[in-house]
Structure 1
Amino acid sequence: MNKALVVILAAVTLDAIGIGLIFPILPALLREVGHTTDIATILGVMLALYSACQFLFSPILGVLSDRFGRRPVLLVSLAGAAIDYVVMAFAPELWLLVIGRAIAGITSANMAVATAYITDISSEDERAKRFGLFHAMFGIGFIIGPVLGGIMGDIWLRSPFLVAALLNAVNFALALFVLPESRPGRRDARFTWDTLNPFKPLAWAFTFKALIPLMAIYLIMSLVGTVYGTSWAIYSEDVFAWNGMMIGLSLGAFGVFHALAQAFLTGPAVARLGERWSLITGMAFETGAMLTLAFASQGWLLFLMAPLFALGGIGMPALQSLLTRQVDADRQGQLQGVLASLVSLASVFGPLFFSFVYHGIRPVWPGAIWLVAMGIYLLALPLMAGIRRSPRMSAPLEP
C-alpha cells in the first residue's frame, strides 16, 4: 500500500472519529445551553442544517480541488474545522452552537476532496477496493468516536469538542507535512462567483446519460442508509426493551462487521463478480437482512444479522467505482462533490421521512419500518437492469 493512500486513509479515520465524538453529548449540551428539556426539534434542525451545509458545499469543494489542487482545499477545510470545534467547546449560547454546526457541515464536505484524492492515486481496477478501504476506515472512526465521546462527555460535557479540534489539527499537520499533492490545479484556474452555485455541478452531471441511473441508485442507497441512524435505537427499545449499553453494543457489532467487509471483501468480490454484480449482491444481502429484522422477535437476531448487513456493504464501493468510470480524470473531483451532495440530501430528508413513518407505524408494528426501507431499496431494481460498463466520457470543461 503506497504512502499517500495510508496517509489519506489515516486522515479519513481521524476525521470520522472527530465527527463521531460529538453525537453522544450533543443532546445534553443542547439542554444545557438551551435551558430546556424539550430539545428534539432543536436537535433535528441542527442535524438537518449540518447535512444541508454538506450538500451546498460538497460540489464547491470538489470543483475548487479540481481547479486549485487537492491539498490547498483540504488544508483550509481542516484548519477551519479545528477552529470551529474550539469555538463550540466554549460556546455559551445556543445560537453559537447552531452556527458552529453549520460551519462543521461546511468543513465536513472535504470528504469529497478525499475521495477525489483516492481516485487520483488509484488505477481503475484498484478503485473499488480502495473505496472499500475508505468506507471501512470511516466506519472504524464512527465506531471509536461515539464510544470515546460518551466516556469523555461524562468527565466534562464539552471535552469531546476539544478532542475533535485536536484530531483536526493532527489531520492538518498530516496534510501539510506528509501528504503529497495528487493532482495539481490547472494553470488556467480562475475563480468566478458562478463556481459557488452548488447546483451547477449537479446540472453538469446530468449531461452524462450513463451517470443518471447510477446517481439515482446512489441516492436511493444513501436514503435507505439513513434508516439505521434514525430508527435503530428507538426500534430496539420498543421491540426488545434494550438499554443504552445494548444499543451501543449492537451498533458496535454492526460497525465492526461492516468495516471488515468493506476492507477485505469488496476487492475480491469485484475481481470475481465485476462491479455490477457486486452491487447487486450487496443489495440482495442488505434486503434480506432488513426483511429478517422486520419479523424479528428476539434481540439476539440483531447481532446475528450484523454479518449479513456487512455483506450488503460491498455494494456502495462497487457503485462508486462504476461511477468514476463515466467521467475523465479532470472531472473526478467534481463527480465526488456531486456524490457527496447526494449523500447530504439523503441525510437531510431521510431522517425526517423515516422518523415520520416510524411515528405512524410504531403503535401497530414497529418492524414495518424495515419493510418501508426495503421497498425504497427495491426502486433501484429497474435502474440496475440498465447498468453496463461503459467507456469513460467527458464534457467540455467549465470556464
Structure 2
Amino acid sequence: MSAGICSKHEAGLSDRLDWRLMLPLFAIVTLYAAGIGAVLPVLPFYLREMGASPLVFGIVLATEALSLSAASPLLGQLSDRFGRRRVLLASQVVAVVSLLLLALAQSIFTVLLARFLFGLTAGNFSAAAAYAADNSSPTTRRQAIGVVNAALGLGAIVGAGLSSVLSDISLTAPIYMALALSASGVVVTTFGLKGGKVVRQATDEPDRERISLRAITGHPVIRVLVIVMLCHFFAYGMYTSQLPIYLADRFVWNGHALGPREFAYIIAADGVINILVQLFLLGLLGRFFSERRLIILIFALFCIGFLTAGLASTIPVLAFAVLCISTADALAKPTYLAALSVHVPSERQGVVMGTGQALVAVTDIASPVMAGFIVGLGLYGAWIGAVVAIAITGAVIAATRLPRQSDSETGTPAPPG
C-alpha cells in the first residue's frame, strides 16, 4: 500500500472514536486479561504443590516470556495478512487449550508446556492494538490504543478478585474460571467483532519492498522509539520484578510485614490507575502535549516514583510512589504504540504492534534476572539507582533524538521509509 492510499484510508476516519467498534474489542481484551489475572496469583502455589522450587517458577515465567516474544511479531504480521479477527480467534483457541492443559496438569513439565502455549497467545494484544489503530484516525489513535490498555487494567482487577475468592475452593478453580473467560472471548470475537478490515493494494514488487519490515525499522524515528521503549520497559521490569521482596523487607502494615494480600492491594490500585489514565487522562494530555513531551513526562514521573519508593519509609509516601509509577506506565504503552503506528502504512500495523509487544517480552526475560542479582546481594540502593539511571537514559534520548513536532502531532502519517 502506498503512503497516498494509507492517507486516504485514514482521512476517511472520524476524529472521534467509533465506540460501536471499540466496545466489543474492550470486552475481548478484558476477558483475556481477566484470565491472566485469575491464574497468576495461584500459579506459584500450584507449582509448589508439585514440588517446584522458586527457580523452577522463574523458568516457567521465562519460558512464557520467550514464546511471547517469538510469537508477537509473527502473529502481528499474520494479522496484517489474514485480518485481526482471525488471529484473535486463533490465539483465543490456543489460550483455551493451554488453560485446560494447565488445569489438568500432573507434572511440572505439563505446566511448562501449558505456559509456553499461553505465551503464543500474545497475538491477542498485537491484533487488538492493530484493530484499534485500523479504526482510529492519527489524532485519536493514542486514545484508541488506550482503550485496549484500559481493558487490560480492568481485566487484571477482575481476574485477581475472582482468584482471591476461588482459590479458597481449590487452586484449580481460578484456572477453570480463566478457561471459561477465554471461551467467552471466543464467542464475543465470533459474533461481536466487526470491521477492522485491512485496506489492501494490488501487489507489486516495489511496494512490497517499501512496506517490508526492514523498510519500517529503517525509519529513523522508529529506531529512536524502539530504544526509548527498551529503556522504559527494562526499568519498569527491574522495578516490578523485585517489588514484593523490597516491600516485605522494608514496610510494615498493621503491625506485620507486607505480604501477598497487601501486595494485591497495590496490584488492584495499579489496575484502577491504569483504567482512569486510559479513559480520561490520556486523551486530555494528548490535546496539550506533543508526542515527544508526553514521553519525557512519562520518564519524569518514572524517576520521581522510583526515587520516592527508594526513600519511602511510610505507607503514604509509598502510595505516592506507586501513583507516579503506575500513571507513567499507563501512559506509556498507548503513547509508544501510537507513535510507532503513524510512521507505517495501515497494512503493516499488525507487525509493528507485534514487534512492540515482543520488545516488552524481551525485557520481561532479562530485567528480572539483573534486578534479582542486585537485590539478592541486599543492594536496594543500587537496585533503585540502576532503575533510575535507565529511565534517565530513556528521557535524554527522547529529548534529544525525537523530532520536536512529529507527523503524529500534525495528523499526517509519515512515509514508510
TM over 0.5: yes
Q: What runs of 5+ residues in structure 2 fail to find an aligned partner?
A: 1-17, 204-211, 252-256, 408-412
Identify the residue that residue 84 of structure 1 maps to in structure 2.
Answer: 98
Identify the residue that residue 192 of structure 1 maps to in structure 2.
Answer: none
User: 2: CA distance between counterparts of 1:152 and 1:370?
Assistant: 36
User: 2: CA distance between counterparts of 1:167 and 1:204?
Assistant: 39
C-alpha displacement of 1:368: 4.1
C-alpha contact (below 8 Å) 1:85/1:162 kept by paired residues: yes
C-alpha contact (below 8 Å) 2:239/2:371 kept by paired residues: no
Give the residue type in structure 1 aligned to 2:280. F
Identify the residue that residue 215 of structure 1 maps to in structure 2.
Answer: 226
User: 2: CA distance between counterparts of 1:69 and 1:338?
Assistant: 17
Give the residue type in structure 1 aligned to 2:319. F
1:44 equivalent among 39, 51, 58:
58
> Do the aligned partners of residues 204 and 62 (structure 1) sit closer, same or farther apart at CA in structure 2, a change above 3 Å counting?
farther
User: 2: CA distance between counterparts of 1:267 and 1:321?
Assistant: 12
C-alpha contact (below 8 Å) 2:337/2:353 kept by paired residues: no
2:28 equivalent among 11, 14, 25:
11
C-alpha displacement of 1:244: 2.4
C-alpha contact (below 8 Å) 2:29/2:152 kept by paired residues: yes
C-alpha displacement of 1:185: 7.8
CA distances 1:213-232 after superposition (whole Å, capped 9, x unpaired): 10111121111221343111
**CA RMSD between the two structures:** 2.1
Greater alpha carbon shift after TM alignment, 385-394 vs 330-339: 385-394
2:120 equivalent among 106, 110, 119:
106
Q: In structure 2, the residue corresponding to 1:392 is in which secondary structure? A: coil
Greater alpha carbon shift after TM alignment, 271-280 vs 249-258: 249-258
Q: In structure 2, the residue corresponding to 1:140 is in which secondary structure? A: helix
Residue 63 (1) aligns with residue 77 (2): yes
User: 2: CA distance between counterparts of 1:96 and 1:28?
Assistant: 15
User: 1: CA distance between counterparts of 2:374 and 2:239?
Assistant: 13
CA distances 1:183-208 after superposition (whole Å, capped 9, x unpaired): 2485879xxxxxxxxxxx86554322
1:296 equivalent among 312, 316, 320:
312
C-alpha contact (below 8 Å) 1:69/1:183 kept by paired residues: yes
Q: In structure 2, the residue corresponding to 1:122 is in which secondary structure? A: coil
User: 2: CA distance between counterparts of 1:119 and 1:129?
Assistant: 10
Residue 387 (1) aligns with residue 402 (2): yes
C-alpha contact (below 8 Å) 2:300/2:395 kept by paired residues: no
Residue 116 (1) aligns with residue 130 (2): yes
Q: In structure 1, the residue corresponding to 2:168 is in which secondary structure? A: helix
Greater alpha carbon shift after TM alignment, 95-104 vs 224-233: 224-233
Count residues in correspondence. 379
CA distances 1:35-73 after superposition (whole Å, capped 9, x unpaired): x2x511111111001011011111111111111111111
Residue 28 (1) aligns with residue 39 (2): no
Aligned pairs for 1:1-399 within 5 A: 1-33=18-50, 36=51, 39-184=53-198, 186=200, 203=214, 205-240=216-251, 241-312=257-328, 313-360=330-377, 362=378, 365-384=379-398, 385-388=400-403, 389-390=406-407, 391-394=413-416
Q: In structure 2, the residue corresponding to 1:125 is in which secondary structure? A: coil
CA distances 1:143-172 after superposition (whole Å, capped 9, x unpaired): 222232232122111111211111111111
**TM-score using structure 1 length:** 0.89
User: 2: CA distance between counterparts of 1:318 and 1:243?
Assistant: 33
C-alpha displacement of 1:340: 0.9
